[in-house]
Structure 1
Amino acid sequence: MRHPRVKPEHRPHRLDDGTIRIGGGVYGLAAEITDPRGWVWAALELMDGRREIEEIVRGLCRKFVDISARQARTVVGALVESGYVENAHRTAPPELTESEILRYERNRAFFRHVDLTPREHGWEAQMRLKSARALVVGLGGTGGHTAWSLVAAGVGAVHCVDDDVVELSNLNRQVLYDEGDVGAPKVEAALRRLRAVNSSVSVTGQRRRVRSQEELAQLVEGFDVLALCADEPRGPDGVRVWASRVCGRRRIPWAGGGYSGPLVTVGVYGPGGACYECLRAGEEARLPAGTPVDLGGPGVSAPSAGLSGQFTAHAVLALLTGVPAVSPGYVTGVNLIDPGHHVYVRHEPRPGCPTCG
């Protein structure tokens, strides 16, 4: 990093006792640094993007007679490696066009805020998205929002699969369709909308119902991630189990969103974490006998479907970019009638599980 500068989202603050808080204010607090001699604060002030590292080191040595050049380099190096600092004189990679740079600038700002790994130019996450291939199965309330977000975010190729037609009852929450689409195949209407959102993304699709684990295995070949937004068939041998087994064997990460009335959740799975079947077994063992753990049902609003899809899309983007870092094998979500109820479930893989154990 040649010209370090503190990221604007992580502007530091100094308290009366000399402690430095860095990481984005009250709700973005990420680190506290004890700085009894003032070395760290002085280094942060010098990191304005106009100085190279050695200039900052010399500036510290001029200001403090009790700091050696070696100590100054250690302070500056630790701040650079912390992830709260970026290279001010960065340039976007040539693989991105001018229109892509303009379109995805807010993406870059988001990833810059969240990512604490030192990067060369800050567009690394976007480049991963551009080269990625995502499969979206199901284009209903969850799937429509998921597909829209993946296309808008710049995932290079998004392939959509659904067998249904648009019905009037879909229009209370399914974002890709309007009244003129009633009676048309969902995938046809969805492709028109999605291609109009982002012409730089390859958006493809097929009208197809996934009827077996073998069919799903054929579909996922060649994709980097699966967004499972279909909920049928349900049950202990249903589509989520198929996804768990198929993706587990191929080491393909996947996310599956769902809702049950006001409860909105997403499950995130992949190498290194418990599979869906292990997570389900862990919940069944924890809950009173007979308590259902499946999500689903007719109760859904536009906000609950939208949240379900956006949670799923966020999980997919994180799985593809590594920003934020995701440790798969959990379910998270919210309860829309209880703001204090945050869902978070994680269990260890079962010993001997053929998928993840």
Structure 2
Amino acid sequence: MRLPRVKAQHRPHRYGTDRIRIGGPTYGATAEIRDPDGHAWAALNAMDGTRTPEEIATRLVRAFPGLPETEAAGVVRLLLDSGYVEDAAGPRSEEFGLPELERYSRNAAYFRGADLVPRDIPREGPRDHGWEAQVRLKRSRVLVLGLGGTGSHTAWALAACGVGEIHCVDRDVVELSDLTRQALYREADVGSPKVEVAAARLAEVNSSVRVTGETRAAECEEDMLDLVRGFDAVAMCADEPAGRGGIRVWANRACLAERIPWALGGYNGPLVSVAAFVPGGPCYECLTASVDASLAPGIPVGLGGPGVIAPSAGVSGHLTAQAVIAFLTGIPAALGSHVTGVNLVSPDQHVYTRPPAAPDCPACAPHRLPAEPLRSVAG
């Protein structure tokens, strides 16, 4: 790091004479540092973006005559590795021109606050410090399957955020009833293939993103495997064919086979949720098995229905896009497979669960060991 600066979102505060609290509760990342000698507080105050790490360590030695140089350098290194510090020198990447730096400046501010993992871009080292997440998005390929209420909002969010390549798949045409909740279509589009309209609209949202599409239906597991192959993440926003042996099971098994993370977004009336699954499991079939086990025999599980308004479709789509962005950037890190959501008419009903791995799951049990590393989308 060339010119360390404490991130604006994580300004430190001193409590008493020996404690420092650093981090922003908005980003869910607050730490407390024991600092009886004042070394860390002095170093943090020197990290204002005008000094190198070596200059900060030298400043500490001068301020505390009894502090060895090696210990001063260690204090500085510990703070640099905490994730609460950024490089004030800014990005020098050849990935982005000035228009993109301006376009994604708010993205970069978000990721700097949310990311507490010091990281560099492969092949570029520290040159992109602070913009690593945006580089990862630009180098990513995402499949959006289904362009209805959830999928249209998902595709828009991914394009707006700067995912490099988005491939859209849907078999339907735009209908009048779609216009209450599907963000990419207008009255003049009724009767036109959704894929064609969506690709054109997304290109207008962000011309630096490559958007492709095809009008087709997935009719079996082999079709799904052919669709997902080669992508870095999948946004599953289609619900037909429905049922326990339908498109969601096909997506689950295809993504497990290709070691691709995938997000399943949807709504059931006002209950909006997204399920995120990572390679190796627990998987979608583990989730449905755990739900089945909690129900009395013969009670079906509701997997969605026609009741939806624009806000519920929008929340569903944006939760799905957020899950995909987390896959691609690693921010936040290591969430694993989980389900999250909210009931829009009962906001106190927040949904969060981590499905247990079913020991004999026919889908993910064969993939759990040996554990392979998730493919890097930045390489």
Please, which runs of 5 or more residues in structure 1 have no aligned partner?
none
1:189 equivalenced with 2:210 (yes/no): no
Matches of 2:29 and 2:143, distance apart in 1: 35
8 Å contact kept, 2:236–2:265:
yes
Q: Go from structure 1 to structure 2 and tell me whether the alpha carbon gap of 1:291 and 1:326 turns closer, same or farther (over 3 Å shift).
A: farther
The SS at the match of 1:297 is: coil
Q: Show the counterpart of 1:104.
A: 104
Matches of 1:24 and 1:160, distance apart in 2: 37
Q: Go from structure 1 to structure 2 and tell me whether the alpha carbon gap of 1:356 and 1:62 turns closer, same or farther (over 3 Å shift).
A: same
8 Å contact kept, 2:144–2:169:
yes
Q: Go from structure 1 to structure 2 and tell me whether the alpha carbon gap of 1:137 and 1:286 turns closer, same or farther (over 3 Å shift).
A: same
8 Å contact kept, 1:271–1:328:
no
The SS at the match of 1:23 is: strand
Matches of 1:28 and 1:321, distance apart in 2: 17
Q: Show the counterpart of 1:333.
A: 341
Matches of 1:101 and 1:218, distance apart in 2: 35
The SS at the match of 2:235 is: strand
8 Å contact kept, 2:9–2:24:
yes
Q: Show the counterpart of 1:167.
A: 175
Amino acid at match of 1:183: G
| 1:96 CA drift (Å) | 1.4
| 1:38 CA drift (Å) | 1.6
1:200 equivalenced with 2:200 (yes/no): no
Q: Show the counterpart of 2:58.
A: 58
Q: Show the counterpart of 1:92.
A: 92
Matches of 1:289 and 1:343, distance apart in 2: 24
| 1:289 CA drift (Å) | 3.7
The SS at the match of 1:204 is: strand
**What is the CA deviation profile of residues 55-81 of structure 1, one whole-angstrom value per residue up to 9, with x for unaligned ones?**
211211222234322222221111000
| 1:320 CA drift (Å) | 1.1
1:82 equivalenced with 2:82 (yes/no): yes
1:252 equivalenced with 2:273 (yes/no): no
Q: Go from structure 1 to structure 2 and tell me whether the alpha carbon gap of 1:51 and 1:356 turns closer, same or farther (over 3 Å shift).
A: same
Matches of 1:324 and 1:240, distance apart in 2: 25
The SS at the match of 1:355 is: coil
Q: Show the counterpart of 1:344.
A: 352
Matches of 1:84 and 1:17, distance apart in 2: 21
Greater Cα offset, 233-242 or 23-32: 23-32
Please, which runs of 5 or more residues in structure 2 have no aligned partner?
120-125, 366-379
**What is the CA deviation profile of residues 231-275 of structure 1, one whole-angstrom value per residue up to 9, with x for unaligned ones?**
111111011100001110111111010100111000101214301
8 Å contact kept, 1:156–1:201:
yes
Q: Show the counterpart of 1:115.
A: 115
The SS at the match of 1:30 is: strand
Amino acid at match of 2:363: T
Amino acid at match of 1:258: G
Identity %: 58
The SS at the match of 1:340 is: strand
| 1:27 CA drift (Å) | 6.4
8 Å contact kept, 1:60–1:72:
yes
The SS at the match of 1:328 is: coil
| Aligned-pair Cα RMSD in Å | 1.6
Matches of 2:302 and 2:250, distance apart in 1: 15
Matches of 2:270 and 2:319, distance apart in 1: 14
Runs of 4+ in 1 over 3 A off after TM superposition: 25-29, 287-294
Matches of 1:29 and 1:156, distance apart in 2: 29
8 Å contact kept, 1:279–1:329:
no
| 1:17 CA drift (Å) | 5.1
Tell me which of 158, 161, 184 is aligned to 1:153. Answer: 161
Tell me which of 318, 324, 332 is aligned to 1:324. Answer: 332
Greater Cα offset, 259-268 or 124-133: 124-133
| 1:36 CA drift (Å) | 2.1
Q: Go from structure 1 to structure 2 and tell me whether the alpha carbon gap of 1:273 and 1:31 turns closer, same or farther (over 3 Å shift).
A: farther
Greater Cα offset, 59-68 or 187-196: 59-68
| 1:291 CA drift (Å) | 4.2
| 1:327 CA drift (Å) | 3.0
The SS at the match of 2:42 is: helix
The SS at the match of 2:347 is: coil
Matches of 1:74 and 1:98, distance apart in 2: 36
Q: Go from structure 1 to structure 2 and tell me whether the alpha carbon gap of 1:118 and 1:289 turns closer, same or farther (over 3 Å shift).
A: same
Q: Show the counterpart of 1:212.
A: 220
Q: Show the counterpart of 1:303.
A: 311
TM-score by length of 2: 0.90
Q: Show the counterpart of 1:30.
A: 30
Greater Cα offset, 86-95 or 133-142: 86-95
**What is the CA deviation profile of residues 80-109 of structure 1, one whole-angstrom value per residue up to 9, with x for unaligned ones?**
000101122233311212211111111111
Q: Go from structure 1 to structure 2 and tell me whether the alpha carbon gap of 1:232 and 1:17 turns closer, same or farther (over 3 Å shift).
A: farther
Q: Go from structure 1 to structure 2 and tell me whether the alpha carbon gap of 1:292 and 1:36 turns closer, same or farther (over 3 Å shift).
A: farther
The SS at the match of 2:60 is: helix
| 1:16 CA drift (Å) | 3.6
Amino acid at match of 2:10: H
Report how many aligned residue pairs link the two structures. 357
| 1:288 CA drift (Å) | 3.9
Q: Show the counterpart of 1:2.
A: 2
Q: Show the counterpart of 1:125.
A: 133
Q: Show the counterpart of 1:273.
A: 281
**What is the CA deviation profile of residues 266-303 of structure 1, one whole-angstrom value per residue up to 9, with x for unaligned ones?**
01012143010011111221344444434211111111
TM-score by length of 1: 0.95
